Amino acid sequence: MNAHDRTLGDLAKLHYGDGEYAVLRPGRYVLCAVSGQKIPLEQLRYWSAELQEAYAGPREALERWQETHG
C-alpha cells in the first residue's frame, strides 16, 4: 500500500490491536472518534483496541478514556 496509489479509497477501515492495527479496507486516513478529524494512516499513533476507534492525539485519547472509565 502506497500513500500515492490513486486506486485507494479515502477512508480506511482498521482492526485495532494492542500496539498494532490491521488494515481491513485500504485507504488514506481514519477519522478521530472524538474530534472527527482526518488522521492520515502514516500519522496514526493513538487508538483503543477495546473500543475499536482512533484518536488524533493524546488529548483525544485521554478524553475518551475519561468518558469510558471515569
Identify whether 45 is part of a domain: yes
Is 2 a residue whose pLDDT tops 90? no
The string of DSSP codes covering 1-37 is: --TT-TTS-SB-EEEE-SS-EEEEE--SEEEBTTT--
In a domain, 36, yes or no: yes
Is residue 48 a part of any domain in this protein?
A: yes
Query: Does 8 score more than 60 pLDDT?
Result: no
Domain that holds residue 41: 13-69
> Would you say residue 7 lies in a domain?
no
Domain count, the chain: 1
pTM for this entry:
0.85
Q: Phi and psi dihedrals of 67, rounded to 5?
A: -65, -40
Residue 5 within a domain? no
Contact 56, 47 (CB under 8 A): no
pLDDT tens column, 24-69: 999 999 999 999 999 999 999 999 999 999 999 999 999 999 999 9
Answer whether residue 8 is part of any domain.
no
